[in-house]
Amino acid sequence: MWSKWNNIWNLHFTMPSNVRELILSWKDMAPNSISGQVWIMCAFSSIWSIWKSRNDAVFNDRKLGVDMLFDQTVLRVAWWCKSRWPEGRWAISDIVADPSRLSEVQISGTIMQQSQWTAPGRGTLKFNTDAAVKGSYGMAGVGGVLRDENAKILMYFSKGVGVCDVLSAELFAINEALNLFVASKWSKEFEVILESDNKSAIEWLQDPALAPTHLRNLIHQSLAFSSRVRCRFNHVPRECNSLADNLAKKGVGRDKELVIYEPL
């Protein structure tokens, strides 16, 4: 857990014997590229996440892997930074996609960088999905993120889907997003726009007759989910889908599915 933070900034240290010594030494190890306040946030978010995870394991028999725990920790730090520096350079989703951007959240006089992702209208949510495959046919991962009109992250997921081709993986990602949305507390109140940077997948969902025969079962599964809610499909350029892309890449080889609902 701690080494993941250090790996981002290429730091090396010997783990102290207790938490007090860790915090004292952690402050002194802050790299020059990052604000001291942000660096301390990383430490306290890690301790808080570990404590909450420990309680969940003991009292609720729910266990998180290190990757899932670290993802939660980064999300907490991103929200703390947004609260502390609302005009900071990076949006929360940008920090989650690349934690090294924490080096640049505290830059006076700058305005938050406008993402090419566009927010939905009032009463509508957007679920961006993506897939990552090693080669044209290999180990694959899928990811997705649900956001509201204010770009607030309501849910995101990352998981491995075994071995498949790129188009199958893209449809697996869409299926997973729709399945999660249908089961969520938002499905009855909001319309959802499902966005993917794979043009073929979106075209097939809009006209299933165009889909290759071997992929039609996946198409029909997605349409079965979408028929249970108010749903539209939309194609977006890859640069508008960076967070979903990052989650998909993290999903390759992931043993346990990661699903996070609303920042804690």
Find the farthest-apart pair of alpha carbons in the chain and give their distance in angstroms, rounded. Answer: 64
Backbone angles phi, psi at 117, to 5 degrees: -65, 135
Write the CB contacts of 116 (distance below 8 Å, at least 6 apart in sequence): 237, 239, 240
| Measured distance between the N- and C-terminal CA atoms of the chain, rounded to whole angstroms | 18
Q: Which two tokens stand for residue 19?
A: 């938490």
Q: What is the pLDDT along the chain (264 residues), one digit of tens a residue?
A: 777 777 777 666 666 677 777 776 676 666 666 667 787 888 888 888 888 888 888 888 887 788 888 888 888 888 888 788 777 767 777 787 778 778 766 544 333 344 478 999 999 999 999 999 988 789 999 999 999 999 889 999 999 999 999 999 999 999 999 999 999 999 999 999 999 999 999 999 999 999 999 999 999 999 999 999 999 999 998 888 888 998 999 899 888 888 988 754
Residue 32 has a pLDDT of: 60
Give the span between the Cα atoms of 228 and 251, in whole angstroms: 27
- Return d(Cα 257, Cα 254) in angstroms, integer: 7
Provide the β-strand partners of residue 224: none
Q: Which pTM was predicted?
A: 0.63
Q: What is the pLDDT of residue 30?
A: 65
pLDDT given for residue 183 in this prediction: 95
Close Cβ partners of 36 (under 8 Å, ≥ 6 residues apart): 27, 30
Neighbours of 95 (CB within 10 A): 24
The pLDDT score that the predictor gives to residue 54 is 85
Structural domains of the chain ordered from first start: 2-104 (no CATH), 124-261 (3.30.420.10)
Per-residue tokens: 94? 């940008």
Quick one: pLDDT at residue 189? Answer: 94
Residue for token pair 């900071």 = 88
